[in-house]
Chain A
Amino acid sequence: MASSQQQQQQKMGAWGKPRETSQAQAPLQSVQIDGRAVLKIIRHCAAFTPTPVTGELLGLDIGSTLEITDCFPFPTESHEQGSKNNDSDSVSADYQISMMHCLREINVDNNMVGMYMSSYLGSYQTEALIETFLSYQESLSRCVCIIHDPTSVAERGVLSLKALRLSDAFVAFYKNNTFTTEQIHKAGLQLDSIFEEIPLHVHNSALVSALMSTLAPAPELMSNADSDRLNLDASAQLEKNVEFLIDNLDDLSREAAVINQWQRQNMRNNQARMAFLAKRRAENAARRAAGEEPLPEDDGPMGRGSGPEPTRLSAYLIANEMNTFCNGIHSLTSGTLKKLSLASYLHGPSAENK
């Protein structure tokens, strides 16, 4: 599942023509999305749960606001295998180009402004997403990624929609540095400085408002979403969250083991080198005393050290993801506690009556 997501994301970045947007730009302050695009994203994500899906966002970049007016989905891997098999990259690029071409004909804003993807309980912080982001940013000066969690809507009646981008500081760091402990320390990179959440506004045209006022159900009636929201039992979702958290913890300790081993190796190498140098120096002193030519005092056979430090990026991302899960747990538990206290009031008097 993870690998297909990665492929998909890489594929997304495969096509993108550079645009001439050379003028100095105000920092991106908000993202405005059409209700229609929200519906489309939600529908696409919900139709394929739990398979992760991705799509492209179209819209306009105006001043400090990025307007998302339309979007289209990318086909998922399994459906493509049925058609041409040889080069899925070119197939998807063809798909993208012809879709954009078609949308232009019916006067849709056909500027790429980013992408959307579904995530399960917030597991979106991957290296693949960062790579995709960077490849998008090569052709677009500003792009966002809309993250939608379809299970949250389906199971709890809560809309989970986020607009994310990579922070400028992180992009600069990513391009110029490697993720070693020292470099991260020097740049002062913190956990929460990788992704930036941008305030999301929803916009609807007057015609859509008219449509909804014609269609809107009586506001006092209970809908399915309401009964989902009032569901007292959140244990299944909590379990999933905790399960993911534990998985991540395992990953993190694996990462820590890797870095520990590297550090131990490094230390051992250093000690060996020191011993070698000390020995060489003593030898040279003896040689000089004997009037002989001293041997070169370089690192000798130990000079290479123990290789470069393993990248710390994945540990950062895992920790970030754990943070997301923890936040998810908080929102779940706070909601559940509220509902439970409500339920206890409801049950209290009736229980006393017996």
Chain B
Amino acid sequence: MAAAPSAPSLNASSAAVSSVSQAHSVLALADELGAAQGGGVHVHPLVLFNVCDSFIRRSESSTRVIGTLLGTVSGGGSRVEVTNSYAVPHEEQAGSVSLDVDFHRTMLQLHQKVHPNEGVVGWYSTGLGVKVGDVLLHDFYARETPGAGAGGAQASAADGSGAAPATAAAVPQQSSSLPIHLTVDTGLTNGRMDVSAYVSSKLDVGESAPVGTQFTEVECMVTMDEAERIGPQLLSDAQTNKLPGEAEGLASSVSKLQSVVSTAVRYVEQVVNGETPADAATGRRLAEAVRSVPTSATLDFESAFQDNVQDVLMIEYLAKLTQTHMALADRLNKFSLPI
């Protein structure tokens, strides 16, 4: 990060970067406002996979990749779901950034043909933290983002509405948290791939025009539910030769259940023995979980259970019978006749 000594360094502890040519300053502040945003940014794993892939496929000359984030906004603009993304070609030279705007618009149109309810919610770049040129990019995306709110793009709201008529309906809510700037540390600077999200706000000093843009880190969560359904193993191993079948999934789920139950049992025992202080909330939850198991008379359960087993076996038998019939018809080449 090319940090230059800068005049509007408001907070001594924060890293202040100023770019003279742009008459803007970027302040990457440790967050305090993050909590006030509420809801936060929820990133789907596909977005991060896209970022990784486009980083691998970046052109030889570029050191990082930037792109557009697509998604939806809910909860009055407090909750931002980032569901999709695409890379946008760009050129970067000392202090200036040029983005292929046509590409961005074309790609946006194409995406919205398939997912019309997804709009631009921000942009991403690889690397750690906010960099010098990012203010310009952020301003551009503030214009591209429909419903970008008070903090980000007051000044550019007028031309913003004209620039993206197609997307105007997509994200109707006014939101102060748009656009989002997502950084993914593909360089693994801290030994891990950090994903963070920022929003910006204009810095005002008294009466004068804004002197800079302040980037504030907001809460950023990766919603793993989707990936978990597919199997995290499948998405993290370099090579999987066999897709996980039903039996394997069941086995792993049962063993997970077992470990969760034994953890709960161990906890209860520890509390009973006085080794761990009792926690009322946890106790209530446990009691609820135990209560949710239906208690039924043995006979009722027995008959219901047997009925279910019989049903399943019956269907299984019928299916086998059908298959046998068809196999016979096939081998005898009698498909012309009713089976």
Contact = CB atoms under 8 A, between A and B. Distances in A.
A25 B320 CA distance: 39
A229 B186 CA distance: 34
User: Most A CB atoms within 10 A — which of B44, B186, B256, B305?
Assistant: B256
A203 B253 contact: no
Contacts of A43: 44, 46, 83, 226
Contacts of A49: none
Interface stretch (A5-13, A100-108, A130-138, A286-294): A100-108
Contacts of B52: 36, 205, 207-208, 211
Interface in B104-124: 106-107, 110, 113-116
Contacts of B256: 219-222, 226
A175 interface: no
Majority-rule SS of B interface residues: helix
B335 A312 contact: yes
B282 interface: no
B103 A36 contact: no
Interface stretch (A150-158, A166-174, A277-285): A150-158
Interface in A53-88: 70, 73-76, 79-80, 83
A323 B323 contact: yes
Interface in A330-351: 330-331, 333-340, 342-344, 347, 351
Contacts of A223: 224-225, 228-229
A207 B246 contact: no
Contact of A75 (B45, B100, B113, B241): B113
Contacts of A226: 252-253, 256-257
A148 B298 CA distance: 42
B225 A322 contact: no
B316 A202 contact: no
Contact of B246 (A95, A156, A230): A156
Contacts of B301: 347, 351
Contact of B224 (A154, A215, A249): A215
A315 B337 CA distance: 11
B205 to A, nearest CB: 39
A102 B109 CA distance: 12
Interface stretch (A15-23, A114-122, A253-261, A299-307): A253-261
B319 A159 contact: no
A312 B222 CA distance: 51
A222 B256 CA distance: 6
A36 B188 CA distance: 20
A295 interface: no
A209 interface: yes
B298 A159 contact: no
B232 A217 contact: yes
Interface in B180-239: 186, 188, 192-195, 222, 224-232, 234-239
B91 interface: no
Nearest to B237: A204
Interface string A315-334: 11001001101100111011
B94 interface: no
A201 B230 contact: no
Interface stretch (B3-11, B134-142, B272-280, B307-315): B307-315
Interface string B324-335: 001101110101
Given A40-B46, A43-B44, A230-B250, 18 more contacts: A36-B49, A38-B230, A47-B115, A75-B113, A184-B333, A199-B241, A212-B235, A214-B194, A215-B48, A216-B224, A217-B228, A222-B256, A224-B229, A259-B336, A260-B338, A312-B336, A329-B315, A337-B316
The 6 closest A-B pairs by CB, nearest first: A212-B236, A75-B113, A329-B319, A107-B57, A36-B49, A226-B253
Interface of B: 44-46, 48-50, 52-59, 83, 86-89, 100, 103, 106-107, 110, 113-116, 186, 188, 192-195, 222, 224-232, 234-241, 243-247, 249-250, 252-254, 256-257, 259-260, 263, 298, 301-302, 305, 308-309, 311-313, 315-316, 318-320, 322-323, 326-327, 329-331, 333, 335-339
